[in-house]
Homo-oligomer: A and B are copies of this chain.
Amino acid sequence: MLRPKTAPMGWNSWDCYGAAVTEKEVRQNADFMAKYLKRYGWEYIVVDIQWYEPGAVSHEYRPFADLEMDEYGRLLPAPNRFPSAAGQKGFTELAAYVHSLGLKFGIHIMRGIPRQAVHRNCPVLGTGKTARDAARFNSICMWNPDMYGVKDNEAGRAYYKSILELYASWGVDFIKCDDICRELPHEEAELRMLADAVENCGRGIILSLSPGPALLEKAELYKETANMWRITDDFWDEWPLLYAMFERAEKWSIHAGAGHFPDADMLPIGPIRQDYDKNTRTKFTENEQLTMMSLWSIMRSPLMIGGEMTGFDDFTMGLLTNEDILKLHRNSRSARQILRRTVAGNEWIVWSAASSEGGSYVAVFNAGEADGEFSFLLSELEIEAESVRGTELWSGEPVEFTGSVTACVPSHGAKVYFLP
């Protein structure tokens, strides 16, 4: 499998467009990324769920909708939404366009084979078997109506092989597979079939698993089969969800590295949920966005932008283009929560990490409801020096700590230090 040294960075259509994104919207975000963000390391453009559903108009799914599909039961982009896909060309042209910008192209798939293919009994490409041979009649997703799970048999393996070869032929660089990492063990065999098909499709493809929460006791399985996996259910712009991520991050951070990265989900920033209301912006405060970006970076989560990028303001752009923070995201090693302590009613969380280039990172989060100042001993970081100098990365200001670290942090905010 591919072993990217750093966690993937990109854009995903879900937070903003749900199941209804169009080619035009994808292209405009690709253009934006190429122009403004590529230089900072952002590179993936991912089309999320139901690009094969002609009637999708929001984050909701229409049960039993007729899906765009080829004769072998392989889903195709709906041409009414993706005009370049007309004539069963799939995402070939869109991928080529994204590549032409110097970016990479990804798609979402659901675990399994379309129910529609099964009830029509489509042949599975390259075998004498049919979709009915491949499908498990009682393996379904509880929240999406499209698929049946696939059996670990000749027909099932051939089906996964057939779709991966198709996607590779389109030029897909990244696959986010859904309904595959929350409710193990029943999908374990299916995950291994999928991973084998990715491995052998003839193109290097990043594999991302969803939805979470993934199962901690299956960490080694995820590491063997995938590049990233969701450690949380869908993450949205609400403080309780961000707060809860600290605990998940603490448990999962030891599994980040060497091509596999626990995934804290997309960054719901800027204009989101545009299918419901064009005026919707993230409900996260600026401090909360700093906290999110700091935590995701130090824990080496993939960074997938969720908002419509053409509508980003200066703050949001600053969030995504802070070179020191992005360097932390690249170079963080052995990140861990050092302490979590409630002082005078305010909860403080401290993470530290080594830098692969030397020196240490320390992030201080104020998870409480009041602005405040928090101190802890340098020895709690196992730093033996009496005094250290460094920089706060969001502000760029120099700092010096003697004996202890003291940080003034607003409620729900974060400070991130690099101590060379």
Contact = CB atoms under 8 A, between A and B. Distances in A.
Interface of A: 3, 5, 63-64, 115-116, 118-121, 132, 135-138, 140-143, 145, 220, 223-224, 250, 253-254, 257-259, 333-334, 336-341, 354, 356, 377, 379-382, 384
A137 B137 CA distance: 13
A380 B258 contact: yes
A64 B137 contact: yes
Contacts of A145: 137-138
A223 B254 contact: no
Contacts of A333: 334, 354, 382
A341 B135 CA distance: 30
A141 B138 contact: yes
Nearest to A216: B251
Q: How many copies does the complex hold?
A: 4
B258 A250 contact: no
A63 B132 contact: yes
Contact of A63 (B135, B340, B356): B135
A149 to B, nearest CB: 12
The interface residues of chain A, by DSSP majority, are classed as mixed
Nearest to A151: B63
A304 to B, nearest CB: 22
Given A119-B119, A254-B253, A135 B64 contact: yes
Contact of A64 (B132, B141, B356, B380): B132
A3 B254 contact: no
A254 B258 contact: no
Contact of A341 (B115, B220, B259): B220
B354 A354 contact: yes
Given A115-B119, A116-B119, A220-B339, A382 B354 contact: no
B118 A64 contact: yes
Contacts of A381: 258
Contacts of A334: 333-334, 336, 354
A135 B64 CA distance: 9
The 7 A-B residue pairs with the shortest CB-CB distance, nearest first, are A334-B334, A137-B145, A119-B119, A63-B137, A64-B132, A254-B336, A258-B380
A341 B64 contact: no
A384 B356 CA distance: 11
Nearest to A253: B254
Contacts of A3: 377, 379-380
A381 B140 CA distance: 37
A141 B140 CA distance: 11
Given A64-B121, A220-B339, A356-B382, 16 more contacts: A3-B379, A5-B382, A5-B384, A63-B135, A63-B136, A64-B135, A64-B137, A115-B119, A116-B119, A138-B141, A220-B341, A224-B341, A254-B336, A258-B338, A258-B377, A258-B381
